[in-house]
Chains A and B, each alone.
Chain A
Amino acid sequence: DTEVTQTPKHLVMGMTNKKSLKCEQHMGHRAMYWYKQKAKKPPELMFVYSYEKLSINESVPSRFSPECPNSSLLNLHLHALQPEDSALYLCASSPGSGSGRDTQYFGPGTRLTVL
């Protein structure tokens, strides 16, 4: 089973709202990722968790706050977002072997609209 699930599928929020995106995998993977994708562009890496510790933050604004409660779950907390943050937010996971050969498996994404 190579499934990564994400909720919600769609989210509309105002600039003063606080919301959270959720991601789950049951493949025993030890690395999890958040990406942001705008239309007609490739995914852009935001955060990487390796063995439940934040290992990469690609200079993401603090209005995005990641959390990894356990090895199967990854959350992205959103607060005071801007309209330009509207995008598809993708979660991915990989075995986390550190070999550089790991395949990343993507979830279906959350389509976020900030009004």
Chain B
Amino acid sequence: RKEVEQDPGPFNVPEGATVAFNCTYSNSASQSFFWYRQDCRKEPKLLMSVYSSGNEDGRFTAQLNRASQYISLLIRDSKLSDSATYLCVVPSTASKLTFGTGTRLQVTL
């Protein structure tokens, strides 16, 4: 199993739709998890941190399932501006992050 695995997509959804991405990780000892958003030719920007069972911020909800070793990101009421690549990130050591390959989201009119 890869350290961090994501479906690369692309996910093409209409505006207003709800979309969910899953990310699986192999290190059962991992304690923290991150979702970053990366626009084309820009830097990754932190979207959400997950330390316990989940986190919610407006239209975005992250859920952690430790038993199955996956993290999900749910986006409700998708906007055109949500179009980006979403990176699942899991620390492999105190200072080293392991990135998933990213899931590309395209929101259309």
Residues of A within 8 A of B (CB): 31, 33, 41-43, 45, 48, 50, 55-56, 88, 90, 94, 96, 98-109, 111
User: Chain B CB within 10 Å — which of A100, A102, A111 has the most?
Assistant: A100
Task: Identify the 4 closest CB pairs spanning chains A and B, nearest first.
Answer: A42-B99, A106-B43, A101-B32, A98-B94
User: Hey, which chain A residues are within 8 Å of B99, CB to CB?
Assistant: 42-43
Residues of B within 8 A of A (CB): 31-32, 34, 41-46, 49, 51, 87, 91, 93-97, 99-102
A42 to B49: give the CA distance in the assembly, Å: 18
User: Hey, which chain A residues are within 8 Å of B46, CB to CB?
Assistant: 103-105
Contact A101 B95 (CB under 8 A): no
User: Hey, which chain A residues are within 8 Å of B31, CB to CB?
Assistant: 100-101
Q: CB within 8 A of A48: which of B91, B95, B100, B101?
A: B95
A13 to B97: give the CA distance in the assembly, Å: 30
Q: Which residue of B lies closest to A104 (CB)?
A: B97
- A100-B91 contact given A45-B96, A56-B96, CB 8 Å threshold: yes
